[in-house]
């Protein structure tokens, strides 16, 4: 653990739970508590708590906030109704992906609606700088260090949060958020997550985080709640085929090749990267994001090359052993000619070829 | 198996050296501490019989959900037996790291590398420092 790592407001809780801590994007974070598979399955079957306070939390102010955000987002921001949250991408004019983000447009207690955003920890300072450099920038406030973020994920999550807040959290539609208040002060509850399960993410004041965590842990005991680390978060998001910045998304990947077309809205609006996206789509030929299932038990990892007979057709961006499916799974960028589901390919894992099949994404979808 | 009778590499492999028909045979596995550190094992790659192993060089790898970890040979010699049953029963390593969890048997070509290994007390101390 680097001595200069940032710690989240839940650091003491992790230490008490004997978490294994690692440095991640400049933060000391729990990679696992009792084990990745146990935490993964608890999230699929019951409920778990994740400290995701390392994620960047930004808020925006100024009369031009909506117009500005609309211009730097691949997805239209102007139509986001108060109470709603949308996944979007931020790219440069040349289509290079700067980050993938959640844009929140929430009603606040003052009766006004405000825009805020959750960005990747690894991109926080880059993205703040990028926004502030824009000629039409609104005011950007970095709230990361004054708040904490806790994800409550799993089939029991909504019932647990409802009991805790004495409020029917199931009334919150997916990708919606609301401010709530309680003994612990105010918080933002959103019906979002990064696991492929139902659940919420909570943004609370840094001073309240530990109390909120402990309350949820004890209230959730009868539902089998467990703390879960970044290791399980990664296997869960991979099964759900959610991209991870630095793997499926980066500045060397064009936004048009990610397959995230639901988050790219070109018609009737102008935004940074639009002309590059239209050009890339017209030209075609860029590798596409696919899923792979491997034969046997050996997981392929990021960087493993993929072959169709003697021809190199792509590279793995994330790979693991799926605890739910009990098989190795991976996401990769493949040449379009080899990317059809059902195609049999070979993955080179440290010099040995292993058979793999292109499959439809996601690998896991909750019932 | 008495853990006090084993030798240990600082990379967490254990070695049992026995005399067999005028040769010295080293049985090699990884310690319970190593298994607990790795957690969630899913795959093991072991060498085939006849492979030459060298002290400090990789003889295989073990892979968890999170990451791959090399297995380092603590001895010099030739692999004479491989525990093939481990491949489909990795849980053996969790339950029985020192008996059922053995990985390879090596006919020693040179005993010099044994002097670099740790005894049980020294290895226990290393584990305490690492945890």
pLDDT at A240: 98
Is B119 inside a domain boundary?
A: no
CA–CA separation, A141 and A150 (whole Å): 20
CA–CA separation, A196 and A361 (whole Å): 12
CA–CA separation, B40 and A35 (whole Å): 7
User: How far B43 CA lies from chain A's nearest CA (Å)?
Assistant: 5
Identify the CA nearest to A206 among candidates A2, A13, A37, A19.
A13
- Is residue A216 over pLDDT 50? yes
User: In b/e form, how buried is each residue of A114-126, taking b as 16+ CB within 10 angstroms?
Assistant: bbbbbbbbbbbeb
Give the model confidence (pLDDT) of A19-66 as tens digits: 999 999 999 999 999 999 999 999 999 999 999 999 999 999 999 999
A193 within 8 A of A153, measured Cβ to Cβ: yes
A163 within 8 A of A222, measured Cβ to Cβ: no
B13-20/B7-8 β-pairing: antiparallel
What range defines the domain where residue B40 resides? 3-113
3-state DSSP assignment of residue B109: strand
Identify the CA nearest to A212 among candidates A130, A158, A153, A150.
A150
CA–CA separation, A146 and A126 (whole Å): 19
Identify the CA nearest to A271 among candidates A81, A121, A63, A98.
A98
For chain B, what percent of residues have pLDDT higher than 70? Answer: 100
Which of A231, A235, A298 lies nearest to residue B63, judging by beta carbons?
A: A298
Grade residue A3 by pLDDT with cuts at 50, 70 and 90.
Answer: low
Is B123 inside a domain boundary?
A: no
Q: B23 and chain A: CB distance < 8 Å anywhere?
A: no
CA–CA separation, B96 and B67 (whole Å): 22
Rg of the Cα trace of chain A? 21
3-state DSSP assignment of residue A60: strand
Q: Please enumerate in sequence order all residues whose Cβ is within 8 A of that of A301, keeping only pairs 6 or more positions apart, or say none.
A: A316, A319, A349, B68
Grade residue A231 by pLDDT with cuts at 50, 70 and 90.
Answer: very high
Give the C-alpha distances (Å, rounded to integers) separating A268 from A75, A76, A265, B61. 12, 10, 8, 54
A299/B43 Cβ within 8 A: yes
Is B64 inside a domain boundary?
A: yes
Is B121 inside a domain boundary?
A: no
> Average pLDDT in the B69-73 region?
96
> Average pLDDT in the B90-97 region?
93
Is B127 inside a domain boundary?
A: no
- Is residue A2 over pLDDT 50? no
CA–CA separation, B40 and B63 (whole Å): 9
Grade residue B21 by pLDDT with cuts at 50, 70 and 90.
Answer: confident
For chain A, what percent of residues have pLDDT higher than 70? Answer: 99
- Domain count of the fold of chain B: 1
Is B131 inside a domain boundary?
A: no
Q: Count Cα atoms within 13 angstroms, Cβ side, for A158.
A: 15
- Is residue A1 over pLDDT 50? no
Residues 283-342 of A with CB under 8 A from B: 296-299, 301, 320-321, 323, 328
- Is residue A351 over pLDDT 50? yes
User: How far A94 CA lies from chain B's nearest CA (Å)?
Assistant: 34
Q: How many CB atoms lie within 10 A of CB B23?
A: 12
Q: Please enumerate in sequence order all residues whose Cβ is within 8 A of that of B28, keeping only pairs 6 or more positions apart, or say none.
A: B13, B14, B15, B59, B73, B74, B75, B102, B103, B104, B105, B106
Q: How many residue pairs bridge chain A and chain B with CB atoms within 8 Å of each other?
A: 38
A36-45 helix and A230-239 helix, angle to the nearest 10 degrees: 60
pLDDT at A242: 98
Residues 62-81 of B with CB under 8 A from A: 63-66, 68
B68/A235 Cβ within 8 A: no
A209-219 helix and A157-165 helix, angle to the nearest 10 degrees: 120
pLDDT at B122: 96
Q: Please enumerate in sequence order all residues whose Cβ is within 8 A of that of B129, keeping only pairs 6 or more positions apart, or say none.
A: none
Rg of the Cα trace of chain B? 14
- Is residue A174 over pLDDT 70? yes
Q: Count Cα atoms within 13 angstroms, Cβ side, for A192.
A: 25
CATH class of A6-55+145-239: alpha beta
Is B125 inside a domain boundary?
A: no
* B65 vs A contacts (CB less than 8 Å): 36-37, 231, 235, 299, 320-321, 323
Q: Can you give the residue ranges of every domain in chain A?
A: 6-55+145-239, 287-367
The length of chain B, given as a count of residues: 131
- Mean pLDDT estimate for chain B: 95
Give the C-alpha distances (Å, rounded to integers) separating B10 from B5, B7, B112, B127. 16, 10, 16, 9
The CATH number for B18's domain is 2.40.50.100
A31/B65 Cβ within 8 A: no
Sheet architecture: strand order including A27-32: A6-7, A27-32, A20-24
The length of chain A, given as a count of residues: 367
A48-51/A226-227 β-pairing: parallel
CATH class of A287-367: mainly beta
* A328 vs B contacts (CB less than 8 Å): 42
Residue with tokens 């004019």: A93
pLDDT at B1: 77
Q: B42 and chain A: CB distance < 8 Å anywhere?
A: yes
* B42 vs A contacts (CB less than 8 Å): 297-299, 321, 328
Structural element, H or E, at residue A175: none
> Average pLDDT in the A250-277 region?
97
CA–CA separation, B125 and B114 (whole Å): 19
A290 within 8 A of A332, measured Cβ to Cβ: yes
pLDDT at A342: 97
């Amino acid at each position: 653990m680097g001595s200069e790592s940032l710690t989240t407001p839940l650091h003491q809780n992790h230490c008490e739970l004997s978490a294994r801590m690692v440095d991640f994007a400049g933060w000391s974070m729990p990679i696992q508590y009792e084990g990745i598979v146990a935490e993964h399955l608890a999230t699929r079957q019951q409920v778990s708590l994740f400290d995701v306070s390392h994620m960047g939390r930004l808020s925006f102010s100024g009369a031009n906030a909506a117009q500005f955000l609309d211009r730097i987002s691949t997805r239209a921001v102007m139509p986001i109704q108060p109470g709603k949250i949308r996944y979007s991408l931020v790219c440069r004019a040349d289509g290079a992906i700067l980050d993938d983000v959640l844009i929140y447009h929430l009603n606040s207690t003052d009766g006004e609606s405000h825009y805020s955003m959750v960005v990747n920890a690894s991109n926080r300072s880059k993205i703040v700088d990028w926004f502030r450099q824009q000629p039409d920038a609104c005011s950007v406030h970095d709230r990361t260090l004054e708040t904490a973020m806790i994800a409550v994920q799993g089939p029991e999550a909504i019932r647990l949060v409802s009991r805790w807040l004495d409020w029917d959290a199931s009334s919150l539609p997916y990708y919606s958020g609301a401010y709530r208040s309680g003994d612990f002060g105010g918080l933002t509850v959103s019906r979002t997550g990064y696991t492929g399960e139902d659940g919420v993410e909570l943004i609370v004041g840094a001073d309240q985080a530990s109390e909120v965590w402990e309350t949820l842990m004890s209230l959730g005991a009868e539902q089998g709640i467990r703390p879960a680390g970044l290791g399980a978060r990664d296997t869960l998001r991979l099964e759900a085929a959610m991209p991870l910045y630095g793997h499926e998304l980066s500045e060397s990947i064009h936004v048009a090749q990610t397959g995230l077309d639901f988050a790219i809205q070109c018609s009737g609006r102008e935004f940074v990267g639009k002309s590059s996206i239209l050009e890339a789509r017209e030209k075609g030929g860029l590798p596409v994001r696919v899923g792979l299932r491997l034969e046997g038990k050996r997981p392929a990892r990021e960087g493993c090359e993929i072959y169709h007979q003697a021809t190199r057709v792509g590279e793995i961006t994330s790979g693991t052993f799926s605890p739910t499916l009990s098989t190795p799974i991976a996401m990769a960028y493949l040449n379009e000619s080899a990317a059809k589901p059902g195609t049999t390919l070979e993955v080179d894992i440290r010099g040995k070829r292993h058979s793999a099949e292109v499959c439809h994404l996601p690998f896991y979808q909750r019932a | 198996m008495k853990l006090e009778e084993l030798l240990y590499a600082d990379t967490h492999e254990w070695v049992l050296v026995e005399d067999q028909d005028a040769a010295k045979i080293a049985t090699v596995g990884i310690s319970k501490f190593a298994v607990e550190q790795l957690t969630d094992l899913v795959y093991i790659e072991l060498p085939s019989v006849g492979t030459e192993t060298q002290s400090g060089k990789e003889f295989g790898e073990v892979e968890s959900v999170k990451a791959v970890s090399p297995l380092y040979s603590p001895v010099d010699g030739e692999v004479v037996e491989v525990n093939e049953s481990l491949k489909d029963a990795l849980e053996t390593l969790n339950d029985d790291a020192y008996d059922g969890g053995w990985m390879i048997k090596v006919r020693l070509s040179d005993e010099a590398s044994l002097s670099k290994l740790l005894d049980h007390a020294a290895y226990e101390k290393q584990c305490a420092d690492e945890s």
